[in-house]
């Protein structure tokens, strides 16, 4: 991509923000704070020390829930994919659990962990675990039989087959799954924080409304969630550029 094409979104954004500011000013709106009010809101949060505190609190929960889910869900999924019997045994349970929104677990999460980090982390874990398990399972199932047979033909042991064929073959799919799942985890943390804890960006939004209808802070919270979400996604996207993985994404 050329630089000028990379910069293309900037004018569009400038137009949108100007239109937002102008229409709020013209209409003297009380139902929507303008962008400038939102900027002031973010600065206020920074001054009070809440900005960093809430961002860190949200990232902390996402990190724990997501990393735990990855550490358990991916190996579990790989095992299910590798041992067909495992898949046969567990797949029905997985399929039943999958359509249940992680948010439906909120009451149970609070019952088990109380209001606090534990409940939020548990919810993020739940939201990330199944997608990662299913991704890993399908990735193994989709390894071409010819690749495995070639490995066996060259005299690889079962262990070498796993390290030299299974891992590299599933890596691109796992990276994509990790990226999508991090997006889900970030969606869920906001919802979880609205109910199950009293800090974090989700809490900020609900608290700003409850304690004084501070809609500038509500939107400030939304903007922060958006920006951090983009940064997380861009970080994961960078992983896809690794040479040994790029083959999995079609084209070059």
CA neighbor of 41 nearest in space, from 200, 195, 190, 205: 205
* Closer residue to other proteins (CB): 112 or 249: 249
Instruction: For residue 164, count CB atoms less than 10 angstroms from its CB and return exposed for 0-12, middle for 13-18, buried for 19 or more.
Output: middle
**Positions that interact with other proteins (CB under 8 A):** 144, 146-147, 149-150, 152-155, 160, 165, 168-169, 171, 243-248, 252
Q: How far is the CB of 102 from other proteins (least distance, A)?
A: 33
* Closer residue to other proteins (CB): 47 or 153: 153
* Closer residue to other proteins (CB): 150 or 230: 150
Q: How far is the CB of 73 from other proteins (least distance, A)?
A: 23
Q: How far is the CB of 14 from other proteins (least distance, A)?
A: 39
Q: How far is the CB of 163 from other proteins (least distance, A)?
A: 11
Q: What distances in angstroms separate CA 171 from CA 90, 136, 177, 222, 248, one per listed residue?
A: 23, 9, 10, 33, 8
**CA dihedral over 226, 232, 235, 239, signed as positive or negative:** negative
* Closer residue to other proteins (CB): 138 or 160: 160
CA angle 98–104–108, rounded 5-degree value: 115
């Amino acid at each position: 991509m050329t630089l000028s094409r990379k910069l293309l979104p900037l004018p569009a954004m400038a137009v949108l923000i100007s239109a937002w500011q102008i229409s709020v000013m013209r209409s003297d709106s009380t139902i929507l704070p303008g962008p400038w009010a939102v900027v002031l809101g973010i600065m206020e949060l920074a001054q009070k020390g809440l900005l960093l505190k809430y961002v860190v609190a949200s990232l902390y929960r996402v990190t724990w829930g997501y990393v735990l889910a990855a550490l358990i869900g991916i190996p579990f999924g790989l095992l299910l994919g590798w041992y067909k019997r495992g898949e046969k045994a567990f797949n029905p349970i997985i399929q039943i659990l999958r359509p249940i929104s992680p948010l439906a677990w909120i009451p149970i999460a609070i019952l088990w962990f109380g209001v606090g980090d534990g409940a939020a982390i548990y919810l993020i874990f739940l939201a990330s675990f199944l997608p990662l398990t299913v991704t890993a399972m399908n990735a193994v199932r989709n390894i071409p039989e010819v690749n495995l047979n070639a490995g066996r033909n060259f005299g690889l042991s079962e262990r070498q087959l796993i390290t030299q064929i299974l891992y590299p073959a599933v890596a691109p799919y796992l990276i994509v799954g990790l990226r999508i799942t991090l997006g889900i985890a970030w969606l869920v943390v906001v919802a979880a924080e609205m109910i199950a804890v009293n800090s974090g960006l989700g809490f900020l939004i609900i608290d700003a409304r409850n304690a004084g209808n501070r809609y500038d802070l509500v939107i400030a919270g939304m903007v922060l969630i958006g920006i951090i979400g983009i940064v997380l996604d861009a970080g994961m996207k960078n992983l896809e550029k690794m040479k040994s993985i790029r083959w999995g994404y079609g084209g070059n």
